[in-house]
Amino acid sequence: MERQPYVTFYDEYGASLTSRHYDDVSGFWQARTYLFLSLGIIPTFLQGRSVLEFGPGTGENATYTDSLKPSRYVLVDGSREILETCSSRLDSSGSSQVEREFHCCLFSEFRTEEQFDVVIAEACIPNQKHPLAVFRHMQSFVRPGGVFILTTVSSASWFSEIVRRLVKVQIASRVTDVDEQLEWLEDRLRPHFSVLNGMARSPRNWILDNLVQPYTGGQLFSIATVLEDLKGGWMLLGGSPRFLQDWRWYKEYSNQAKVTNQQLLEAYYGNVANLLDRRRSPESHGRDSGAQIESWTTSIWERLIHQESIGEFDLRWVYKEGVELSKLIREVSPLTADSLSEAIRWIKAECPKEELRFFPGWWGRGQQHISIARIG
């Protein structure tokens, strides 16, 4: 059977792979509240509304949405075990006022005539084989006046993870046993996780999900792709992080979505370095640097996954590219450039056990959340 992004791997490794730390419920819900507010959604707005969620995973996030008492909550996930965990979680701890419905199917197979006030697709559009088609399919379930919350990933925001994936390729060239690879990666990457506050799952699960999970033809899906695709009748509502600004006076609003989205795209490319490295103090930079970084990191990602898909481990090309790319990155973010140079040197030396100064602390803003409203 054809391997599906996420679903096949999760079926093999079990539902625990998608589960999130959930011991501090009030801290968890506080973070969700902050996320909803950043997306321009006042949590009480959900009361009595209808919600459709794609890819809820084991449902930790869904407990928050459920607690806001939508009248109807439909959840769609392609993994039976994951969906069952989600459904028993909500049935045991959710609100009795919510009418829930669970559908186990692939996103592309989900059909209904119904449209919803809120559609959610968190951490599940990027890495689909055809993310834009999946996005448009999901968008069709938003009713006029409703909102769509989704997650995006760009090659720049994901680049620190892409470089960590090089570490995986480097070890895979010498060690074939997956458990051994995992143990080795956990050991070498331990200092990388210790700098992350608020990590929602174990390093082992993160490594399995992001580095070991075999490539299944999935594609990245960036804010720029969404903006370029948005038709009239849709507008960007909010985001986390929030950096896209719309300076129009509300009375000047017209249905010129393309013009506005063009301005938002300028703002997007002017902030690529902030997606690339979360340590950077977030002033914006020239649009062209952002576009070049995005395009260069995309070409590295595409070449790497092609190489993985044919089982080739020679990384010499990326050592050269990495050196050139770090010169470009230095213009906008010297600390990131130092981190990339150090990572390349270390990987080239087969990742010896040694203390590194820059690479372990380098994390981008992996995935972003955005909300788009259907106004027409």
| H or E element that contains 9 | helix 7-13
Piece of 1-9, 135-143, 210-218, 220-228 that binds ligand SAM (CB under 6 A):
1-9
31 versus 375: smaller Cβ distance to ligand SAM: 31
Residue from 31, 285, 257 nearest 156 by CA: 285
Q: Does 66 bind ligand SAM (CB under 6 A)?
A: no
Enter the tokens of residue 139.
């968008």
Residues 120-159 that bind ligand SAM (CB under 6 A): 122-124, 128
218 versus 364: smaller Cβ distance to ligand SAM: 218
Q: Does 55 bind ligand SAM (CB under 6 A)?
A: yes
How many chain residues bind ligand SAM (CB under 6 A)?
A: 21
- Which amino acid belongs to residue 244? L
Asked whether 309 and 290 are in contact (CB, 8 A), the reply is no
Q: Is 97 left (phi over 0), alpha (psi -120 to 50) or beta?
A: alpha
Helix %, strand %, coil % of the chain (to 5): 50, 15, 35
Rounded to a whole number of angstroms, the minimum distance from the CB of residue 266 to ligand SAM is 29
135 versus 359: smaller Cβ distance to ligand SAM: 135
- Show the CA angle centred on residue 120, arms to residues 116 and 124, nearest 5°: 140
Rounded to a whole number of angstroms, the minimum distance from the CB of residue 62 to ligand SAM is 8
Peptide bond into 56 cis (omega under 30): no
Rounded to a whole number of angstroms, the minimum distance from the CB of residue 110 to ligand SAM is 8
Residue from 112, 163, 193 nearest 297 by CA: 163
The mark string for 91-110 relative to ligand SAM (x by CB under 6 A, - otherwise) is: ---------------xx---
Q: Does 82 bind ligand SAM (CB under 6 A)?
A: yes
Asked whether 102 and 129 are in contact (CB, 8 A), the reply is no
Piece of 51-59, 93-101, 323-331, 357-365 that binds ligand SAM (CB under 6 A):
51-59
Query: Which of 28, 46, 70, 77 is in the footprint of ligand SAM by CB under 6 A?
Result: 77
Place of tokens 């070991």: 212
Piece of 52-60, 162-170, 216-224, 351-359 that binds ligand SAM (CB under 6 A):
52-60
Query: Which of 36, 56, 75, 332 is in the footprint of ligand SAM by CB under 6 A?
Result: 56
Asked whether 38 and 238 are in contact (CB, 8 A), the reply is yes
Residue from 119, 252, 150 nearest 260 by CA: 252
For 339, the 3-state DSSP assignment is helix
10 versus 159: smaller Cβ distance to ligand SAM: 10
Residue 153 DSSP code: B
Rounded to a whole number of angstroms, the minimum distance from the CB of residue 104 to ligand SAM is 8
Enter the tokens of residue 298.
């995309």
Residue from 93, 22, 91 nearest 61 by CA: 22
Piece of 118-126, 140-148, 270-278, 308-316 that binds ligand SAM (CB under 6 A):
118-126
Query: Which of 79, 222, 297, 336 is in the footprint of ligand SAM by CB under 6 A?
Result: 79
Piece of 30-38, 53-61, 91-99, 251-259 that binds ligand SAM (CB under 6 A):
53-61
Applying CB under 6 A, which residues contact ligand SAM? 4-7, 10, 18, 20, 55-57, 61, 77-79, 82, 106-107, 122-124, 128
